[in-house]
C-alpha cells in the first residue's frame, strides 16, 4: 500500500490531499513536524510527502520510499535539500502559480502604504493628536516616484502591471529576464540608486542571499522604502534595522523573515517604521483552496506514475 504524508501545514484542513490519497487506496497521515527527527519519524516509508516548512534534509529524504515524491506547498523550496533529492532519485515539485495574484496584491498594498507614509501619519495622530501633512517631509506623487523591482518572474511582472496603473516609473534588475513589454531592465546598482521604493521578488540562492546588506543600503536613495514578500534571507535584518534607525531607509514592510516566527528579540520588532506581517502575502480563501488542490493534483500524478506538472527535480516516477 502506498503512503501519503502531510508533514506540516497551516490550513483549516487537508480534504483535497486526503481525497487524492483515497483515490489510490493510499494510507494517509497528517503531522505537525518542526524538527528533523520529527519529520524523519513522520515520513518513514512514504511515497508522497506534502511539506510546508518542515526540514527535508538528506536524513529525512533517506527515510522515504524509493523514488518517492516531495510536494512543497508554494513557490519556494528552501527547506528541501534539492541536491540530496536528485542524488537519491526523489522527485521534488512545487506549486508556483496557486496565488500569485494574492501575493501581488499584498506587495502593492504594502508599497502604497509606505509611499503614502500611512503608518507614520497614523502614529502622529494617535500620539500627538494631529499633524500638518508637511511635518513628515517630502511626499512625491506617484507619477514622480520610481519603484525598483529586484527579480522579474511571475510575481515581479504582475507587481509591475499593478504599479503601472498608478503611474509609477518602474525599473527592474533580473539577469534572467527579457521582457520587451515590461519595465526598464538595468543593473542592481542603478535600481538601488534610482528607486524611491525597492521591492524584492528574487528566489533565495547563494548569489541572492543578503542582496540587501549594509553596502546595498548605503547605495540606496536616502529615505527610500523597502518591501519584501519573497524570501526573508534576501535581506540582512541587522543591516536593515541599522539603516532604518539612521533614516537611510525611511520605512520597510516585511512579510518574510530569515527565521520564522520572527525572533522575540529581533530589533525589527522595536522599530515603528517597520511594518510586519506574518508570512501572509499568499493568503486568501481562493489562493489557499487553489494551493491545496494543485498540490493534491500533483500527488495524484505521482501516485499514477505520470509526469509532474511542476517538477523541480527529476526522479519519482514509478
Please report the beta strands in the chain, taking only residues with DSSP state E, as ranges in sequence order: 3-6, 27-30, 48-51, 69-72, 91-94, 146-150, 169-173, 184-185, 197-200, 224-228, 249-254, 274-276
Round to whole Å and give the CA distance between 55 and 42: 12
Round to whole Å and give the CA distance between 113 and 109: 6
Locate 310 and state its grid cell: 511542476
C-alpha 233 chain-centroid distance: 10
Among residues 162, 231, 248, 301, the one annotated as catalytic is 231
Whether 279 is catalytic: yes
**Closest Cα partner for 176 from 209, 158, 193, 154?**
154
Among residues 27, 41, 144, 260, the one annotated as catalytic is 260
Whether 231 is catalytic: yes
Among residues 196, 279, 298, 301, the one annotated as catalytic is 279
Q: Are 69 and 47 in contact (CB under 8 A)?
A: yes
DSSP SS3 for 170: strand
**Closest Cα partner for 250 from 120, 125, 104?**
120
The residues annotated as belonging to the active site are 231, 260, 279
Amino acid at each position: 500500500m502506498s503512503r501519503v504524508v502531510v508533514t506540516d501545514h497551516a490550513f483549516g484542513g487537508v480534504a483535497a490531499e486526503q481525497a487524492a490519497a483515497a483515490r489510490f487506496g493510499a494510507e494517509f497521515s497528517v503531522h505537525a513536524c518542526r524538527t528533523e527527527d520529527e519529520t524523519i519519524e513522520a515520513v518513514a516509508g512514504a511515497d508522497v510527502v506534502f511539506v510546508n516548512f518542515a526540514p527535508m534534509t538528506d536524513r529525512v529524504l533517506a527515510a522515504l520510499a524509493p523514488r518517492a515524491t516531495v510536494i512543497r506547498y508554494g513557490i519556494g523550496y528552501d527547506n528541501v535539500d534539492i541536491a540530496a533529492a536528485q542524488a537519491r532519485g526523489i522527485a521534488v515539485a512545487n506549486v508556483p502559480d496557486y496565488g500569485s495574484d494574492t501575493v501581488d496584491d499584498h506587495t502593492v498594498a504594502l508599497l502604497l502604504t509606505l509611499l503614502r507614509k500611512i503608518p507614520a501619519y497614523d502614529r502622529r495622530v494617535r500620539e500627538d493628536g494631529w499633524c500638518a501633512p508637511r511635518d513628515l517631509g517630502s511626499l512625491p506623487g506617484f507619477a514622480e516616484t520610481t519603484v525598483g523591482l529586484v527579480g522579474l518572474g511571475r510575481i515581479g511582472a504582475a507587481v509591475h502591471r499593478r504599479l503601472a496603473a498608478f503611474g509609477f516609473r518602474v525599473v527592474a534588475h533580473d539577469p534572467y529576464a527579457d521582457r520587451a513589454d515590461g519595465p526598464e531592465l538595468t543593473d542592481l546598482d542603478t535600481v538601488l540608486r534610482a528607486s524611491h521604493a525597492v521591492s524584492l521578488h528574487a528566489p533565495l540562492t547563494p548569489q541572492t542571499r543578503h542582496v540587501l546588506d549594509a553596502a546595498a543600503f548605503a547605495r540606496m536613495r536616502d529615505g527610500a522604502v523597502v518591501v519584501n514578500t519573497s524570501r526573508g534571507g534576501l535581506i540582512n535584518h541587522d543591516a536593515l534595522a541599522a539603516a532604518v534607525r539612521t533614516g537611510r531607509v525611511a520605512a520597510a514592510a516585511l512579510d518574510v523573515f530569515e527565521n520564522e516566527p520572527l525572533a522575540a528579540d529581533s530589533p525589527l520588532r522595536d522599530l515603528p517604521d517597520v511594518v510586519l506581517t506574518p508570512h501572509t502575502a499568499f493568503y486568501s480563501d481562493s489562493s489557499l483552496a487553489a494551493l491545496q488542490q494543485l498540490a493534491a493534483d500533483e500527488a495524484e500524478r505521482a501516485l499514477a506514475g505520470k509526469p509532474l506538472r511542476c517538477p523541480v527535480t527529476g526522479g519519482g516516477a514509478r
